[in-house]
Chain A
Amino acid sequence: MFRKSPIIRWRSYGDRYKLHGHKCTKCGTTYFEKKGMCICGNLEFSEMDFSGEGKIISFTQIHSGPESFSEMAPYCVGIIELKEGAKITAQIVDCKYEDLKIGTEVEAVFRKFYKSGEKGIIHYGTKFIPKL
């Protein structure tokens, strides 16, 4: 997720820009990242799009994270359970740590992730904000 190569990042635009996911063709369980096998044992998945709505199931505040994110510090990171069931780890922005709770409803937004130095590519992707 934090790799520097613009090309490696480019290959994951589908997941990071748009919240594409994978749904088990047998039991309907959804996954954000591609799995080899579903919890039900099925090996087949269909592609799907998440709505971007979900709720916080765990969160923390980062004061000194990876250097690329230092401009945002302190910032919140959480595990979000999407409405469709899959879980995703992401930054939660436009909020204060004190305002967040387990169960807070959130929605996906498109934001800057980080810049590769002064001359490099600007990386974008999905973060979450408390539901407006």
Chain B
Amino acid sequence: MAGIVSWGAYIPKYRITVEEIAKVQHANPNSIKNGLGLVEKSVPGKDEDTATISVSAARNALLRTNINRKEIGAIYVGSESHPYAVKPTVSIVGEALDIGNNYTALDTQFACKAGSGTIQINAGLVDSKMIKYGLSIGADTSQAEPGNALEYSASAGGAAFLMGPNEEAVATLDATLSFTSDTPDFWRRALQSYPAHAGRFTGEPAYFKHVVGATKNILEKTNTKISDFKYVVFHMPNGKFPLRVAKIFGVTKEQIEPGLIVKKIGNTYSGSSILGLTCVLDIAKPGDKILVTSYGSGSGSDAFIFTATEKIIAAQKAKVKTTEDYVKRKEYLTYPEYEAHMEQIH
């Protein structure tokens, strides 16, 4: 099967704290921090959007390798905040990456799993030998209506994975499957600036049913136990939901904490579970098994099992910014500054 040949993360510099938003919403910041399990979120720069975040993450992925970038045969960018309603993000990204013109490309959308799904597409294309390398990208500058509960968590960031032949992989893709159903938990109609959601309904029949369903199925199908994994990542709409899934499967703190990036940057939507994966790839050792299950409202989950190879050591040593480098780089905004930043993404 195909594997991850390289990976790259990107998180904008700006942050806003739960306290700062709670002041405006007249809410108690401590109960929100406890309820959501996060303290602050990332905010895009005024000149950043899904295209620029995708380019930054993908450039980091390419910096780690010395492949001939003209051999990249496919790029997919998954997002729910593509800059245009009509005109692809992905061709802007391909142009900025200078990979020539001989590649297939599509923007994808499936709420927060628009990025993870493109890993499956590229793995299929690599395995069938239609392409040598493919770039899978998930990125968002997610929108939340001022005053809405989502305002505390909807953040910005993205991750990119260069998929390619297993012999070159830093992490082999050992198995992947999905769990999908028509579930009306979260949506945004055409021409609307902000998404709508079904409140508490977003929990049990939506997030939990799909994440648990996909995870259970992949464990059964591959005859694997949770204890076989060094790292486990579940989609992170907040800091609480993934911990509840962890409890269901008996995932330990040691397994889930390294990828639990939501606590520091919020929910980066299409970037969320895959930024959890870049956190783990930044530190994984050869032989470590990694379980990732994404979630996209509407609804579906993609589950993946990866195993890190010897090649990950050299890839980690490359002079490329890590996920943690971006988490640490930050500048706090006041609420009015935050509003000015968010105005630019529409």
Contact = CB atoms under 8 A, between A and B. Distances in A.
Interface of A: 13, 17-18, 49, 71-72, 93-94, 109-113, 122, 124, 127, 132
A72 B329 contact: no
Given A109-B56, A112-B52, A124-B51, A72 B46 contact: yes
Given A72-B47, A111-B47, A94 B13 contact: yes
B121 to A, nearest CB: 24
28 contacts: A13-B95, A17-B98, A18-B95, A18-B96, A18-B98, A71-B46, A71-B344, A72-B46, A72-B47, A93-B45, A93-B47, A94-B13, A94-B45, A94-B331, A109-B52, A111-B47, A112-B47, A112-B48, A112-B51, A112-B52, A112-B344, A113-B47, A122-B51, A122-B83, A124-B51, A124-B52, A124-B92, A124-B96
- Measured as residues with beta carbon below 8 angstroms from the partner, the interface class of chain B is 20 to 34
Interface in B121-164: none
Nearest to B13: A94
Identify which of B13, B96, B321 gathers the most chain A CB atoms within 10 Å of its CB: B96
Contacts of B344: 71, 112
B325 interface: yes
Contact of A110 (B13, B55, B321, B329): B55
A109 B329 CA distance: 15
B49 interface: yes
A71 B47 CA distance: 9
Closest 7 CB pairs of A and B: A111-B47, A110-B55, A112-B47, A17-B96, A18-B98, A110-B96, A94-B13
Contacts of B98: 17-18, 49
Interface of B: 13, 45-49, 51-52, 55-56, 59, 83-84, 92, 95-96, 98, 321, 325, 329, 331, 343-344
A111 B343 CA distance: 16
A113 B321 CA distance: 24
Given A17-B96, A110-B96, A132 B329 contact: yes
A48 B83 CA distance: 30
A30 to B, nearest CB: 18
Contacts of A112: 47-49, 51-52, 344
Nearest to A121: B87
Given A71-B46, A112-B344, 10 more contacts: A17-B98, A18-B98, A49-B98, A93-B47, A109-B56, A110-B55, A110-B59, A122-B84, A132-B321, A132-B325
B321 A111 contact: no
Nearest to A111: B47
A44 B130 CA distance: 40
A132 B96 CA distance: 21
A132 B84 CA distance: 30
